[in-house]
């Protein structure tokens, strides 16, 4: 005969483990999203940050993407590390427009 209490406890433990793994996967996917634009903040072959040599229209497009698509996604998943990075990058881009 199955011990119902033990069965429920084991099921709960397995679910908690699955939830933890899904949370880690979620943040990993969000980090991959950051990497998609992160390269523009790296140095090019001349030692200049890439975003400083791209056109103003491209910068405006990046700011729009950050505002409309990325920040709401990171807020929805409460990913503070990513939100902080996006806010910092957005500030750099805006400063480059001035």
CA-based angle 61:69:71, to the nearest 5?
A: 105
Give the span between the Cα atoms of 26 and 19, in whole angstroms: 10
In this predicted model, what pLDDT tens digit does every residue of 29-72 receive, in sequence order? 888 889 988 989 999 999 999 999 999 999 999 999 999 999 99
The whole-model pTM stands at: 0.73
In this predicted model, what pLDDT tens digit does every residue of 6-38 receive, in sequence order? 766 766 667 666 566 666 677 788 888 899 889
Res 3: pLDDT? 74
Of 9, 30, 16, 13, which Cα lies nearest the Cα of 73? 30
- Sequence-distant (6+) residues with CB within 8 A of 89 are 37, 38, 41, 66
């Amino acid at each position: 005969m199955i011990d119902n209490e033990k069965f429920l406890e084991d099921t709960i433990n397995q679910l908690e483990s699955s939830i933890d793994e899904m949370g880690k996967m979620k943040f990993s996917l969000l980090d991959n999203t950051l990497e998609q634009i992160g390269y523009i903040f790296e140095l090019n072959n001349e030692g200049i940050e890439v975003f400083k040599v791209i056109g103003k229209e491209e910068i405006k497009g990046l700011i729009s993407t950050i505002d409309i698509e990325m920040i709401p996604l990171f807020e929805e998943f409460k990913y503070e590390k990513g939100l902080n990075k996006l806010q910092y990058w957005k500030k750099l881009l805006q400063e480059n427009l001035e």
